Amino acid sequence: MIVQTTKKSKEQLHKELLQPDVITGSEMLLRSLLLEEVDCVFGYPGGAVLYIYDAMHGNPDFKHLLTRHEQGAIHAADGYARSTGKVGVCIATSGPGATNLVTGIATAYMDSVPLVVITGNVATTVIGTDAFQEADITGITLPITKHSYLVRDVKDLPRVIKEAFHIASTGRRGPVLIDIPKDVSNAAAAFYYPEKVEIRGYHPTVQPNKLQVDKMLEAITEAKRPVILAGGGAVYADASKELLEFVEKTQIPVTTTLLGLGGFPSAHPLWMGMPGMHGTYTANHALQDCDLLIAIGARFDDRVTMKVNGFAPKALKIVHIDVDPAEIGKIVEATIPVVGDIKAVLQLANLKAKKSQSEDWIQHIQEDKRNHPLRYKDSDTELKPQFVIEMIHETTNGDAIVTTDVGQHQMWAAQYYKFNKPRSWITSGGLGTMGFGFPSAIGAQVANPDRLVVSINGDGGMQMCSQELAICAINKIPVKIVVINNQVLGMVRQWQEIIHENRFSHIDLAGSPDFVKLAEAYGVKGLRATNKEEARRMWQEALDTPGPVLVEFFVRRDENVYPMVIAGTTIDQMIMGDSE
């Protein structure tokens, strides 16, 4: 594996790193990252970061993974962060290196993922002169970073790094960018790493207002049709245990958003599935019929609410719990706002939480689950993508870390893979970034070397970062790579079929490469399946193979994701598909 080992104890290494030596900015950066206990940095060198990469040379304590594209580096750092809760770190050079990170920064920003993004820049003496490979990356990324720094004095660098990690990992998590000019990375000064961070004006609310929590608990005892909408915030706050306790004490049914999947066990009888555009019948109708809605770390994304003024029309009270006060009331008005860290809020609530009057409501929901399950028309002659996902779930027992790209396969994976634990589901939600799935799996595997990581991709997204197959082969990163190949931009085709009356425009991917040969060209084992028998056999072979494996599943071109709610309609106006 990539992550090297060192004979030094953590205490010994920490003591050595804190020595007040006169060192360069590059050495300061490496020391600071080690003091923040960064396990692996993902990056790609270039002129403006050569001093930084020179400092890495011969440093046995510093671990760096060379990707094949900067976008691969930042998506890998993102997958590392989502799967662990730690801050992911990536490095790129100035100009095109930095701008190649923009999509990944926006992806992390939209999904509240803690990253520290380090870029090089031209020397301070030529900033603003359109020097070779100069780009104002702090200006370019201003709307998609939680904070950013342009370091002009080497003495500031340790403090900046300490602050960046603090900002990225506290409150509502997010990416922080540090831009280091080339002369700053080469300048020298005495190293001093601060013990704590004090940032004027930055004090995220962690502990909630007890009166607001009491109001929520009172509303629960009065409600007869309560629903919990749990989002990615519950996962990122590591509050899954508290959420489970809260649900079992209050007996409130739960629906988890796309990013909230895994935050509540899928096998629990009170889980209703995912809500929204491709949500379950049970979850969507429960949201529309509830008299109390408790949103926990969910931001009421438009793919969840659909037509906002028709969302949860029968809810007499809406509780919104979030660490970011800006989210509360932004989309849906909250009757009872609760600002605070979700783990802290639920811990407080669990001290006094009581059972709701939900017996009849739960019975109604269980009937909906029995009468309207997720279903599809299976086939003995064609390989169905839903079958592939179900097969992957059954063979991994719901314990794998699953990453996806964006499109139909993403929705099928969200619907048919059932998660047992949090931080097992990694997908681009807010930005919907194609090319995200495979490199994020690499980051997740580096961070979790003892867990099975499965990357589920479409034939479109797989081609956007397929070059990262090289680092899987070279570093023996044992990701199991799934390509659901329908030879078309599937989700775009589905929209063109349903919304644009079969006017199919520029969606044909039939000229894509042979993915098995592509994998083999990089030194990765490639397998292919076109029917159920082959699918089972090839997938088992992949699981039995120690290293990375790519399995291409040829599926029906015209298969659609159902249920589906069309934009502009309410979430209970569902197209159920041919099966219902």
Helices (H) and strands (E) in the chain, counts: 23, 19
User: Any idea which residue has 């989502």 for tokens?
Assistant: 82
CA 312 to mean position of chain CA atoms:
27
CA distances 484 to 253, 261, 407, 437, 538, Å, are 33, 21, 11, 12, 14
Diameter of the chain by CA atoms?
Answer: 72
Edge-to-edge strand ranges of the sheet holding 401-404: 425-426, 401-404, 453-458, 480-485, 549-554, 525-529
Q: For 311-343, give one letter per residue: b (16+ CB within 10 A) or e.
A: bbeebebbbbbbbbeebbeebbebebbbbbbbb
Query: What span, in angstroms and rounded, lies between the C-alpha atoms of 207 and 145?
Result: 25
User: Any idea which residue has 């958003």 for tokens?
Assistant: 257
Helix H or strand E segment including 230 = strand 226-230
Spell out the residues 6+ positions from residue 416 whose beta carbon is closer than 8 angstroms to its own. 374, 386, 389, 390, 393
Active site residues: 70, 132-133, 182, 491
User: Hey, what are 71's tokens?
Assistant: 């976008």
- Backbone dihedral region of 351: left (phi > 0), alpha (psi from -120 to 50 degrees) or beta? alpha
Tell which residue, 325, 439, 393, has the closest CA to residue 83.
439
CA distances 474 to 2, 8, 425, 527, 547, Å, are 10, 27, 26, 19, 10
